[in-house]
């Protein structure tokens, strides 16, 4: 798979400002919500679900080797412990796509493809390209493509679709050990402060 060389004109915005405005998952509640499996989830493809060929559990180094240098690298160390996001731009035909690759403790757990307010024909083409890659095209044109989501492989890695104003395709790991690892940074800081007070009782009392 070739590395993306396409760049987006940020129209005078700095990259940090631009990506701060992207509707990507960045909180504990958001990550837990996305990673929690839908009820009655079942396998419907024999192909492994990957994000542009990147397997879940891959490292940041492996992602950069496959996809090239990211547009931006965010370390969410004020929100979620161990959470990092790589941002890329690519194209599906003539449509520009913002891609957010999420890592937890250096391992790939989720990818999002975000298309800003696409026209119906563009959305249809993008959805078709995803489904055809997993041999899930509807039997006739009248069939609703949305009912074929989530795409789910034998390891419960899945692709979900959300389409209100933006079209968002979310690729999520099925690894059950990932969800319990998502914790707030404040919890870790409070624990560290508590340990410090127990280790240094005299100094704490002295300044109360």
In 3D space, the residue among 163, 182, 155, 169 whose CA is nearest the CA of residue 33 turns out to be 182
pLDDT digits (tens, 9 = 90+) for 97-109: 999 999 999 999 9
Predicted confidence (pLDDT) at residue 175 exceeds the cutoff of 50: yes
Q: What is the pLDDT of residue 204?
A: 37
Strands 158-163 and 167-172 turn out to be antiparallel
Q: What is the pLDDT of residue 49?
A: 98
**Contact criterion met (CB below 8 Å) for 49 and 152:** yes
pLDDT digits (tens, 9 = 90+) for 59-84: 999 999 999 999 999 886 668 999 99
Q: Is the peptide bond before 150 cis (omega within 30 degrees of 0)?
A: yes
Predicted confidence (pLDDT) at residue 111 exceeds the cutoff of 60: yes
Predicted confidence (pLDDT) at residue 165 exceeds the cutoff of 70: yes
Q: What is the pLDDT of residue 201?
A: 47
Q: What is the pLDDT of residue 141?
A: 61
**Which range is least confidently modeled, 98-102, 122-126, 203-207?**
203-207
pLDDT digits (tens, 9 = 90+) for 129-146: 899 999 998 776 655 677
Cβ-proximal residues to 119 (8 Å cutoff; 6+ apart), any chain: none
Q: What is the Cα–Cα distance from 87 to 75, expressed in whole angstroms?
A: 12
Predicted confidence (pLDDT) at residue 202 exceeds the cutoff of 50: no
Buried b (16+ CB within 10 A) or exposed e, 33-72: ebbeeeeeeeeebeeebbbbebebebebeebeebbeebbb
């Amino acid at each position: 798979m070739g590395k993306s060389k396409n760049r987006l004109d940020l129209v005078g915005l700095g990259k940090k400002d631009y990506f701060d405005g992207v509707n990507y998952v960045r909180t504990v509640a958001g990550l837990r919500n996305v990673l929690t499996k839908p009820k009655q989830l079942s396998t419907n493809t024999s192909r492994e679900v990957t994000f542009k060929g990147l397997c879940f559990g891959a490292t940041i180094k492996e992602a950069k080797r496959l996809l090239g240098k990211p547009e931006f690298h965010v370390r969410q160390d004020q929100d979620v412990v161990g959470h990092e996001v790589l941002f890329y731009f690519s194209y599906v035909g003539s449509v520009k796509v913002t891609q957010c690759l999420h890592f937890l403790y250096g391992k790939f757990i989720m990818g999002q493809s975000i298309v800003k307010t696409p026209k119906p024909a563009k959305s249809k083409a993008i959805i078709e390209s995803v489904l055809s890659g997993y041999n899930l095209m509807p039997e006739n044109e009248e069939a609703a493509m949305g009912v074929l989501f989530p795409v789910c492989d034998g390891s419960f890695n899945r692709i979900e679709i959300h389409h209100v104003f933006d079209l968002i395709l979310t690729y999520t790991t099925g690894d059950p050990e990932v969800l319990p690892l998502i914790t707030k940074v404040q919890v870790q800081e409070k624990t560290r402060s508590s340990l410090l007070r127990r280790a240094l009782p005299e100094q704490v009392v002295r300044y109360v």
